[in-house]
Structure 1
Amino acid sequence: MSAKPPPKWLNSSLTLLLVALSTCVLISKTYDAPTASAAARGLFVTLCLFGLRYGSIREWLLAAVAATLALILTMSNPGSADLNAAADLAAFFAAFIVLLTVLKVAAERSRSILAVGRFLTSQPPGRRFYATALGGHVLGVFLNFGAVSLMAPLIQKGAIITGTKPDPDLERRQLSALLRGFSWILLWAPTTLSQAVLLTLFTDVNMSQIFGMGLATAFLMMLLGRMYDRYEWRNAPRRTAAKQAPIPPWRAIGIVGCVCFGLITSTVLLQLSAGYSTALALMFVAPAITIFWFGLQTPKVSEICQHLWKLGPLLAANAAGLTRSAMALGLSGFIGRALAEVLPIEEISNHIDLSALPGWVFLACLPLLITLGGQVAISPIMLVVFLGQVIQTLPVLPAEPTHIVFALSAGWAISMLASPNATATLLIAATSGIAPTTLTWRWNLRYAVLCYAVFVGIFVVLAW
C-alpha cells in the first residue's frame, strides 16, 4: 500500500487537526487541564482515522497493533487510567514532532541553509569528512531529519567529478560522514525526539550531566568516525588535483548560527522562567522561531506580512508528511506504554534480582537491545518507551537514572547507523537511491560495532 497525495480539502483538514492537537497538548501540559487532555486524545484518534486513508503500510500496522492493545486494556480493566495515560503519551509525541518539524518549512525555503549546505559539501578532501559530519550534526539540531534530506542530494551533486554520475567512492565516504555525524545529536540535543521521550520517562536526571556527556561523546564518536574513514580508505589512490576550498558564506553561516543559538537560548530561558521541561519549552519556542525566521526571509519589510501569509499553504502542502510522522511516533509511543501495562511487568520484575549484576553490564545491554530490535523493524521509540516502563518497575535500579538515559540514547543513535529501518537511513536512501542495507550493513555496521565497544568502555567508567 503506497501513500497517495491527499486532495486539498484533506490537506486543510489535516493541518487544522495538527494545529488543534498541538494547542490542546500545550494547554494540558501547561495548566494540567483534564478537558484539554481529553480533547488531545480525541484529536489524535481523529488524526489517525483521517491520516490512515493516505498512510503507508507502516502506519496501518502500527494502528492495528495500537487498536488491539487498546481493546485488551479496555476489556481487562474497564475505566482504567492506563489507557488514557498511553493515549496522552501518544498525543504528546505527535504534537512534539509536529511543532519541531515545522522548523523544516522555514529551513527548506532559506537561502542561508542552502548556502551553508553547499559550502559544507564542497570542501577539499582534507576537510570534507569533518565539514559533512559536523554540518549534518549542527544542522540536525534544529532541522532534525530535514538535515539529511537537505544535505544528501547536495553531497551527490558535489561528488560528480566528470560526467553526470557521482564518483562512487566519494559519494560513499560523504554519505557515511553525514550519517556518522547526524546520528549523535540523539545523545544530547534537546530538539530531538529521543531526549523528549527519555526526559518524559525519567524525570530524576541531571540535565547538565546529560548535556555534557552527550556532547563530549558525540564529538568523540565523530573523531572516531574520521579515524575509521582514514583506516578504511588507507589504500585508496590520492587525487592529484586537490579541490580548492570554497569561500565561506559568512552571512549565511551567521544567520544559521543565530537561529540555532536563539532556539537553544530561548528554550533554556523558558525552562528557567516558567519551570517547563525541555521538551515542553521547545514546543513553545520552535513555532515562534519558525514564524520569525520564515517572515524575515524576504529582504523587504513591506513584504514580510505577505510572506508570512504563505506559511499556511506551505503547512498544508506538508500536512501529509507531518501527519504520517505524528501517527508513526505517537502510535509507537502508545504501543510501548500500553505493552508495558498489558504484560505482567511488575510480577516479572519482582522475580528479577539485578543487585548482583554490575551496573556497566546492565547499561551495555540497553543499546544492544535497541539496535537488535531495529534489525527487525521495531521502532527505537517503541523499545525505549517499553524499556523505560520496565526499568521503572524494578525494585532497585542497577545504575543511576542519568546513566540509563545516556545508555538508551546511545542505543537509539547506534540504531541509526546499524539499522536499515532507521528514519535517517530511509530518508538518505530515498533521496540518494542507495539501498538502506548498503548505507548501514555494508558501509557503517563495522563502525557501529566499534562505537558500541567504546560505549561499553564508557559505561565501565561511569559505573566505577
Structure 2
Amino acid sequence: MTNAIAATTGLGLVFLTLVVVLAEWGAGAWAIGLQSLTALVLLLVLAPQVRRGRQVFVAVGILLTVGLAYQSADWVTSARVGLEKAAFIGAFFCALSSLRSVAEGSPAIQSAGRFLALQPPGRRYIALTFGGQVFALVLNYGAIALLGGLATASAKTEQNPEIRRHRTRRMLLAIQRGFASTLPWSPLSFAVAITTAIIPDTTWASVAVPGMVTGFLMAVTGWALDTIFKPRIAGSPGVRHAPDGNWMLMSPLLILLITIMGGIGGLYMLTGIRVVGLVILLVPTVALLWVLLQSRSQGGTRRFRTWLGVYVFTELPAVKGEVVLLMMAGYIGTVGSALLVPAIAASGLDLSGVPTSFLLVAFVFVIPAAGQIGMNPILAVTLLVPVIPSADLLGVTPTAVVVALTAGWALSGMTSPFTASTLMVGAFGQVPARHVGLVWNRGYFLITSIIVSIWVLGFAGLLA
C-alpha cells in the first residue's frame, strides 16, 4: 500500500509538471484548466501524507477559501488563480529537483565541491561563496547539503576544538551566503520566478543585471565582514590540507551552466515564452540527457531506468512535505490577498500616499521580518504584492519593485529559522536554526540590509 501511495505521488508530480509545461507553451485554455484541477487533486492526495505542520497550511487555505466564498461572488476565479500559482510552483520545484538528483550523484560534482572545501584559509571563504553560487545555480538547496557536508568533514580533521568551531561556522556561512546571493538574479530561483510572474511587465532578462548587483553586494559584504572580523586564535594555526586538483575541476559545472543558460536564452529568442516556462521544460531535459550520457559509459540503459525509477518513485515522494508547503504558500497568498485588498479599501487605508522610497525599503525588511514568524517568502510576496500600489502609481519601473522584493527574499533566506537553508546550516553546525539566523547572521543582516536598501533606492532613481 505504501509503494502504491509513493508511486501515485511521484507520477502525480510528474503529470503536474507536464501539464504546466503544456500551459506555459500555449497548449490552450484546456491545459490551464487542467493544471488547476491537477493541483487541487494532488494537494488532496498529499495532505494526509505530510506531517501536521504542513497540514496546517492546507487547513488555512481551506478556511480562507470558505471566507472568500462568503465575501465574494467571484471567489471561484480567485481560487482557480491560486491553484494555477500552486501548480506552477509545484512544477518548478520538481523541475529543479530533477537536475539536483543527477548532480548530487555525479563524481565530478563531488570532486569540485571537495576542491572548494579544502581551499587554504586565505581564499577559502571567497572560494566557497562564489564557487557556492555556481553550485547553487545547479543544485539549488542541494548546494548547501553537498558543500555543507564536505565542509564539516574537512573541519573535523582539525584537532583544536576552538579552531574547528570557528572554521565550521565560517565555511557554512560562506556557503549559505553564496547560495542566498544567487536568489535575486538566477532564473532557477523561486525569488525571480515568483516575482516576475506576479509583477506585470517584468522578465528575467529585465531583472538579471540589477539582481546580479544585489547578489554581488551580498557576497562581497559577507567576505568583507569575515575578513575584518576574522577570529584571532593564539598558538598553532591548525592543520591545513592542500586541495587535490585545480580549478579545472569546476569545468563540468560551468559547462552545465552554459548549456542551461544558453538554452534558455536561445529558446527565449525563438519562442518568446517567459523564462520560467522555459526552465520547467529545459532543466528536466538537461537532467535526462545528462543521465543518458552517463549511462553510455556506466551500464547502458539499465542505469538510466534505475535512476528514473528512483527519482519518480522514491525521491519525488520523499519531498512531498516541501511540495505541499510551497504550493500552499502560493495558494494562501493569492486567496489571502483577495480577502485583504477589499478589507484595506473598506478601512480607508490608502498606501498610494506612502512615500515610494519608504515602501521599497520596507520590502527589504518586511519579508525577513515575516520569516521570523514562519511566513514563507512565497507567501509573504504573493500576499504583499496585490496590496501595494502598482509601479506606475509609485513612479518607478516594475523592475525596481522586483529588485526590492528579491533583495528582501534573499535576506529572509539568511535569517528566517524556518527556511531550508538556515535549517540545514544549523544542522551541519550543530546549533539551532534561530541561532544561525539571529546570532551568526545578525551583523551581516544589519549591514547588508542597509547597503542593499541604498542600492534599491539608487536603482529606482529615488536617492535624490
Q: State if a TM-score over 0.5 links the two structures.
A: yes
Taking the aligned partners of 1:287 and 1:27, their CA distance within structure 2 comes to 14
Matches within 5 A, 1:216-365: 216-237=213-234, 239-240=236-237, 243-248=240-245, 252-298=249-295, 300=297, 303-315=299-311, 316-343=313-340, 344=342, 347=345, 351-352=349-350, 354-355=352-353, 357=355, 359-365=356-362
Q: Does 1:11 align with 2:9?
A: no
- Shift of residue 35 of structure 1? 2.3
Matched residues in 2 for 1:457 and 1:182: separation? 22
Alignment of 1:148-187 (within 5 A): 148-162=144-158, 167-187=164-184
* Aligned counterparts, 1:45-60, within 5 A: 45-60=40-55
- State whether residues 177 and 222 of structure 2, in contact with CA within 8 Å, keep that contact through their aligned partners in structure 1: yes
Which stretch has the larger CA shift, 246-255 or 440-449? 246-255
CA 1:347 to 1:455, structure 2 compared with 1: closer, same or farther past 3 Å? same
Report what 1:126 is aligned to. 122
Alpha-carbon distance in structure 2 between the residues aligned to 1:391 and 1:101: 33
Q: Which ranges in structure 2 are unaligned for 5 or more consecutive residues?
A: none
Give secondary structure in 2 for the equivalent of 1:296. helix
Q: Which residue of 2 aligns with 1:138?
A: 134
**Within-5 A mapping of 1:426-445:** 426-445=423-442
Q: Matched residues in 1 for 2:300 and 2:428: separation? A: 32
Q: Distance in 2 between matches of 1:349 and 1:110?
A: 57
TM-score norm. by structure 1 comes to 0.92
Which has the larger displacement, 31-40 or 270-279? 31-40
Root-mean-square deviation over aligned CA pairs: 2.4
Query: Does the 8 Å CA contact 1:362/1:398 hold for their aligned counterparts?
Result: no
Q: Distance in 2 between matches of 1:246 and 1:130?
A: 15
How far apart, CA to CA, are the structure 1 residues paired with 2:307 and 2:375?
35
Q: Distance in 1 between matches of 2:151 and 2:448?
A: 24
For the Cα contact (< 8 Å) 2:115–2:249, is it kept in 1? no
Instruction: Give the distance between the partners of 2:247 and 2:9, measured in 1 at CA.
Output: 39
- Which of residues 186, 197, 201 in structure 2 aligns to 1:200? 197
Whether the 8 Å CA contact 1:124–1:242 is kept in 2: the answer is no
Q: Secondary structure of the equivalent of 1:16? A: helix
> Is the Cα contact below 8 Å between 2:391 and 2:398 reproduced in 1?
no
**Could you give the per-residue CA deviations for residues 389-422 of structure 1, whole angstroms, max 9, x where no partner exists?**
2225688125321111001000011111121112
Distance 1:238 1:24, change over 3 A: farther
CA shift, 1:69, in A, is 1.4
SS, match of residue 368 in structure 1: helix
Deviation by residue 1:43-64 (Cα, 9 ceiling, x = unmatched): 2222222222331233111101
> Shift of the alpha carbon at 1:427?
2.6
Q: Is 1:95–1:326's contact at 8 Å kept on the other side of the alignment?
A: no
Give the equivalent residue in structure 2 for 1:409: 406
**In 2, distance between residues paired with 1:331 and 1:215?**
29
One-letter identity of the residue aligned with 1:457: I
Contact 1:115/1:249, CA 8 A, preserved across alignment: no
Aligned to 1:76: 71
Q: Say if 1:163 and 1:356 are closer, same or farther in 2 by CA, change over 3 A.
A: closer
Maintained 8 Å contact 2:196/2:204: no
CA contact (8 A) 2:90 2:323 kept: yes
Q: Which residue of 2 aligns with 1:88?
A: 84
Structure 2 Cα separation of the partners of residues 348 and 101 of structure 1: 43
Indicate yes or no: 2:210 matched with 1:213.
yes
Seen in structure 2, the aligned counterparts of structure 1 residues 132 and 348 have a Cα distance that, compared at 3 Å, is: farther
Q: CA deviation at 1:287?
A: 0.6
User: What CA distance in whole angstroms lies between the structure 2 residues aligned with 1:349 and 1:461?
Assistant: 33
Instruction: Tell whether the 8 Å contact from 2:155 to 2:168 is kept in structure 1 after alignment.
Output: yes
Match of 2:365 among 368, 373, 384: 368
1:415-454 per-position Cα deviation (integer Å, ceiling 9, x unaligned): 1112111221123334553310221111111101110010
Aligned mates of 1:210, 1:395 — CA distance in 2: 17
Number of residue pairs the alignment of both structures matches: 457
Distance 2:138 2:200 in 1: 23
SS of residue matched to 2:394: coil
Say which is worse superposed, 425-434 or 405-414, in terms of deviation. 425-434
Conserved in 2, the CA contact under 8 Å of 1:366 and 1:408?
Answer: yes
Give yes or no for contact 1:105–1:314 (8 Å, CA) kept in 2. no
Give the 3 Å change call, closer, same or farther, for CA 160–65 of structure 1 in structure 2. Answer: same
Closer, same or farther: CA 33–430 of 1 in aligned 2, 3 Å: farther
CA distance in 2, matches of 1:345, 1:199: 26
CA contact (8 A) 1:190 1:196 kept: yes
Counterpart contact for 1:371–1:419, Cα < 8 Å: yes
**Secondary structure in structure 1 of the residue aligned to 2:337:** helix
In structure 1, distance between residues paired with 2:352 and 2:388 = 11
Deviations 1:123-152 (A, max 9, x none): 110011011111221111121111111111
Counterpart in 2 of 1:3?
none
In the aligned structure 1, how far is the partner of 2:115 from the partner of 2:379?
A: 37
Contact kept, 8 Å, 2:193 with 2:276, in 1: the verdict is yes
* More displaced 10-residue stretch of structure 1: 233-242 or 453-462: 233-242
In 2, Cα distance between the equivalents of 1:231 and 1:450? Answer: 13
Q: Is the 8 A contact 1:266 1:285 kept in 2?
A: yes
1:94-109 → structure 2 map (5 Å cutoff): 94-109=90-105
**The residue matched to 1:188 in structure 2 has which SS?**
coil
1:347 maps to a residue whose letter is: A
Give the distance between the partners of 1:347 and 1:332, measured in 2 at CA: 24
Paired amino acid for 1:74: A
Q: Determine which of 17, 27, 31 is the counterpart of 1:22.
A: 17
SS in structure 2 opposite 1:187? coil
Percent sequence identity is 24
Deviates more, 1:65-74 or 1:194-203: 65-74
Does the aligned pair in 1 maintain the 2:360–2:401 contact within 8 Å? yes
Q: Give, as a single letter, the amino acid of the residue that structure 2 aligns with 1:125.
A: P
Structure 1 gap ranges (5+) = 1-5
- 1:172-212 Cα offsets, whole Å, 9 max, x none, are 11111111111111110000011110110113136445211
